[in-house]
A and B are shown apart, each in its own frame.
Chain A
């Protein structure tokens, strides 16, 4: 079942006209098994993959890679992924690391689209003053923003 209606798709496609550089979506999931193992299920992994596939289909600048969290644990470690569903958004012009954990639904979906555009264009929406302040930061900063679907 699809997540994006024809109207949604048209809207996202219009938005994606603003994409300039390629954006890589590195998605970690688990093998989709009919077996239910308590404590090891990933309820939203399949839905997240479906949604990302629908998004990636709307622009050839969005490159989706799907990886198995367990079978490709070394790659997961490289991105410090310790839980799934996990998405890493990379592009040539992204200096740090942008990650998304969970199914980006509701308002968070538009946040995700905004991140894709920013990553593609290689520019944040921050003021010059903030960019300057950030430029002087030499310590590793791990910023975690906790959200709920709305």
Chain B
């Protein structure tokens, strides 16, 4: 997604190495995806579902923290 759109910053984070982030984002299962600190989900979801989350996070009503 970061290849296709200049507005996307995509991070992969090895959570064991950053316990403060594990705590902050309450990581109880992996892979856990957090978009703009407003939308989050656990697991390998199908691409169409991932895109629904992207659309939700990019809608004007969602404000990032």
A101: contacting residue among B5, B7, B11, B57, CB under 8 A: B11
Pairwise interchain contact A143-B10, C-beta atoms closer than 8 A: yes
> A139 interface residue, CB < 8 Å from B?
yes
Q: Which residues of A contact B9 (CB under 8 A)?
A: 80, 96-97, 99, 140-143
Pairwise interchain contact B5-A95, C-beta atoms closer than 8 A: yes
Secondary structure class of chain B's binding surface, majority of residues: mixed
Q: Name the interface size band of chain B.
A: 35 or more
**Closest beta carbon of chain A to B47's beta carbon, Å:** 6
> How many residues does chain A have at the interface if contact means C-beta atoms less than 8 Å apart?
45
- The residues of B with any CB-CB pair to A shorter than 8 Å are 1-18, 21-22, 25, 27, 30-37, 47-48, 51, 54-55, 57-58, 60, 64
